[in-house]
Amino acid sequence: MIEALRVFVYSLLPKRCAYCGRVIPSNRLMCYDCEKKLPRVTGTVCVKCGRGKEYCSCKGVEKYFISLVAPFYFDGNVRKGIHAFKFRRSPDNAEAYSFEMARTIKERFGDAEFDFIVAVPMTDKSKKSRGYNQCSLLAEGISKKLGIEYKPDFLVKLYETEKQHGLPYYLRKGNLTGVFDVSEPSYVKDKTVLICDDVSTSGETLNECAKMLWLHGAKEIYCVAAAVTKSERKKNK
């Protein structure tokens, strides 16, 4: 009841830009200023980390997924907007981000035919305390826009881990081993799956999720994030 009331009261508030938070006309997803200045991923992009070549430090190393794409770098007002989306209870920001993600998927994965889309999971405990999994909201939005089936709670997170961005690069891989599982293993065989994340730093979370799908026989796995960090290793030096 309280949640329904919150949604109702929220709907009476003026619409805000999903990036900088400024009030905008109700028919827009972002303000004119952000439209011009958002840190978009452009130019030649590395297929494995989703960054422009100038920021790629992954050297195209093999992953369990074919490719990762993202419309934005995690910087400027994208950082601000995603932070609000995750931590300040602005779930309707998913609309603006999933719109951009769907557009990037069409541009970059135009030929791929996805059987279904899944979200990077949170533990039940974290989901309860936040009220929603932001990656699920993004996956749902993309599903509606592109007509791809969304399988909620398909990937599960078994226990809480140290936040990936708080760990040095060399510890991130081991931090996630055995953390994720697939709820319906028999459904994966020979399927082409799209995994949806909010922010990808090293790509290790997506890779570990992809590994679980691969283990159960997925044919092809692709990934999309709302944003990728600019340069992983530089930041941790």
Residues interacting with Zn ion, by CB under 5 A? Answer: 17, 19-20, 31, 34, 46, 48-49, 56, 58
Q: Can you tell me the distance from the alpha carbon of 105 to that of 68, in angstroms, rounded to the nearest whole number? A: 10
Closest separation in Å from C-beta 126 to Zn ion = 28
The answer to whether residues 183 and 152 touch, using CB atoms and an 8 Å cutoff, is no
Map residue 155 onto helix, strand or coil: strand
- 229: which DSSP letter? -
Q: Which is nearer to Zn ion, 76 or 152 (CB)?
A: 76
Q: Which is nearer to Zn ion, 46 or 139 (CB)?
A: 46
The answer to whether residues 80 and 21 touch, using CB atoms and an 8 Å cutoff, is yes
| Phi, psi values for residue 232, rounded to 5° | -65, -55
Distance of CA 56 to the CA centre of its chain: 18
Closest separation in Å from C-beta 163 to Zn ion = 22
Q: Which is nearer to Zn ion, 20 or 227 (CB)?
A: 20
Q: Which is nearer to Zn ion, 121 or 203 (CB)?
A: 203
Closest separation in Å from C-beta 149 to Zn ion = 29
Taking alpha carbons only, the member of 209, 210, 223 closest to residue 68 is 223
Amino acid present at 129: S
Closest separation in Å from C-beta 89 to Zn ion = 19
Q: Which is nearer to Zn ion, 127 or 230 (CB)?
A: 230
Closest separation in Å from C-beta 234 to Zn ion = 13
Amino acid present at 10: Y
Q: Which is nearer to Zn ion, 49 or 139 (CB)?
A: 49
- 19 burial via Cβ count (<10 Å: 0-12, 13-18, 19+): buried
Closest separation in Å from C-beta 79 to Zn ion = 13
